[in-house]
Amino acid sequence: MAAVATCGTGAGSTGSIVATTSKNNVTSFQRKGPRASGTDSGCSRLVSIAGTRPSVRNGQLLVSTGLPALDQLLGGGLAVGTVLLIEEDKYNIYSSLLFKYFLAEGIINGHTLLVASAKEDPADILQELPAPLLDDNYKKDLDEDICNHQTPDSNIKMKIAWRYQLLPKMESGPVSSSRFGHYYDASKRMPRELIETSKWHGFFFPEKLSSTLNKEPCSLTHGYRRLLQFIQKVIYEEGFDGSNPQKKQKNILRIGIQNLGSPLWGDDICCTENCDNSHSLTKFLYVLRGLLRTSLSACIITMPAHLIQNRAIIARITNLSDTVVGLESFIGSERETNPLYKDYHGLIHIRQIPRLNNLIYDVSDVKDLAFKLKRKLFTIEIHTQKKFNLCIEEKNVDYNTS
């Protein structure tokens, strides 16, 4: 893991937390920090990046996915250096919403964004990001519903800090907040000032098609190869991997790739079962993960997994990703009219959670999770409890008629 690596910072690159290739000389001085961090760059430097926090289990650096409910299910958040793969729902409604939450969280925290899409212009995607909920009163109600560990006292303190921070907001910079994970209002758009003051890079594949092809043949499709080169260029030039001597980056790069694997990227795994370059996508994922592991970045990918005909590829893609979440919406399916699911919009399946720096991982006991999208909130709940209540009601009806 990039941020928690045993980094020999004896040579004095104090700003860079990432283990660079040359700095492997481990000094004998080991800071006696929390058990699992094990680096001699102090823990205080790890938390000094806005919008991150160390995991309680192993000191790993986590970022929020933009959805506090999902953060809880994933064990606190998404680890820096890993890939979150979202298997899209059938009409790509809720997965694109999760994608936007991830990017919106990056803007609120001041992270750099890299948005890649073959369907929509990244500038348009950014215009459609949901607005953050900064009203503290409403947040207090929400906090009581979803079990949040904040005490009322600290809530009041937050309120004062929020009011204070709202004042210079109009002058400069995005809204900086010390919260981890924010709530968003899906019906409103993010204010333009916030988007304009944020730093982002866009990769719109149709624009890059006309550029010159590279010299060497490669088994990756053209689109994936260009995307990898673009990501690598941004990581290197902005200094996220610590190898650029000019730039010392202490920020996170949030990468969002939309509809990876769809035919718009030039890949045919969604079109046919026996595809020509079936290794293109898996190779892309492997090299992407290599890039992420050696830099301060986190990536969200949405993939139309329901269109992939070859089931073997899905298993391979799952093995090559770190966290995999599947969304199944009820739209158009027979479950839409099922009274069991009448309050919900779909099911959410946590297919894989990585075991990083550990033999075990935080896994919730609950496997039946459903989500619903209200105007201001995307909630994830257990749906089997309702099923139980429904059975009892039916029994009562039977006794009454006899």
Q: Give 14 or 27: the residue with its C-beta nearer to another protein.
A: 27
Q: In what order do the strands lie in the sheet with 200-204?
A: 200-204, 112-117, 253-257, 297-303, 83-87, 323-329, 346-352, 369-373, 378-382
Instruction: Pick one of 33, 36, 121, 133: the residue that binds another protein (CB under 8 A).
Output: 36
Q: Give 248 or 355: the residue with its C-beta nearer to another protein.
A: 355
Q: Give 18 or 103: the residue with its C-beta nearer to another protein.
A: 18
CA distance linking residue 221 with residue 277, whole number of Å: 8
Q: Quick check: 382 binds another protein (CB under 8 A)?
A: no
Tokens of 242: 């610590």
Q: Give 103 or 348: the residue with its C-beta nearer to another protein.
A: 348
Q: Quick check: 374 binds another protein (CB under 8 A)?
A: no
Q: Quick check: 333 binds another protein (CB under 8 A)?
A: no
CA-nearest of 325, 294, 300, 284 to 115 is: 300
Q: Quick check: 15 binds another protein (CB under 8 A)?
A: no
Give the CA angle between residues 250, 252, 253 to the nearest 5°.
Answer: 130
Q: Quick check: 282 binds another protein (CB under 8 A)?
A: yes
CA-nearest of 51, 52, 50, 30 to 42 is: 30
Give min distance, CB of 267 to another protein, in A. Answer: 14
Do 260 and 303 form a contact (C-beta atoms < 8 A)? yes
CA distance linking residue 58 with residue 61, whole number of Å: 9
CA distance linking residue 267 with residue 68, whole number of Å: 33
Give min distance, CB of 199 to another protein, in A. Answer: 23
Q: Quick check: 43 binds another protein (CB under 8 A)?
A: no
Q: Quick check: 52 binds another protein (CB under 8 A)?
A: no
Give min distance, CB of 63 to another protein, in A. Answer: 18
Q: Quick check: 360 binds another protein (CB under 8 A)?
A: yes
Q: Give 198 or 323: the residue with its C-beta nearer to another protein.
A: 323
Q: Both ends of the chain: CA-CA distance in Å?
A: 65
Give min distance, CB of 357 to another protein, in A. Answer: 4
Instruction: Pick one of 13, 15, 26, 247: the residue that binds another protein (CB under 8 A).
Output: 26
Q: Quick check: 10 binds another protein (CB under 8 A)?
A: no
Do 81 and 293 form a contact (C-beta atoms < 8 A)? yes
Q: Give 119 or 289: the residue with its C-beta nearer to another protein.
A: 289
- Provide the CA 396 distance to its chain's centre, in angstroms: 45
CA distance linking residue 276 with residue 8, whole number of Å: 45
User: Any bridge partners for residue 381, and if so which?
Assistant: 370
Q: Quick check: 30 binds another protein (CB under 8 A)?
A: no
Instruction: Pick one of 31, 157, 342, 367: the residue that binds another protein (CB under 8 A).
Output: 367
Q: Is 167 exposed, middle or buried (0-12, 13-18, 19+ CB in 10 A)?
A: exposed
Q: Quick check: 217 binds another protein (CB under 8 A)?
A: yes
Q: Quick check: 21 binds another protein (CB under 8 A)?
A: yes
Instruction: Pick one of 11, 160, 166, 312: the residue that binds another protein (CB under 8 A).
Output: 312
DSSP state of 190: P
Tokens of 305: 């997994």
Q: Give 126 or 231: the residue with its C-beta nearer to another protein.
A: 231
Give min distance, CB of 217 to another protein, in A. Answer: 4
CA-nearest of 83, 1, 96 to 319 is: 83
Q: Quick check: 321 binds another protein (CB under 8 A)?
A: no
Do 111 and 97 form a contact (C-beta atoms < 8 A)? no
Q: Quick check: 357 binds another protein (CB under 8 A)?
A: yes
Instruction: Pick one of 169, 188, 289, 372: the residue that binds another protein (CB under 8 A).
Output: 289
CA distance linking residue 250 with residue 54, whole number of Å: 15
Tokens of 330: 């009820």
Q: Give 100 or 293: the residue with its C-beta nearer to another protein.
A: 293
Positions that interact with another protein (CB under 8 A): 1, 4-6, 19, 21, 26, 36, 38, 58, 216-219, 228-229, 232, 279, 282-283, 286-287, 289-291, 293-294, 310-312, 315-316, 319-320, 355-360, 365, 367
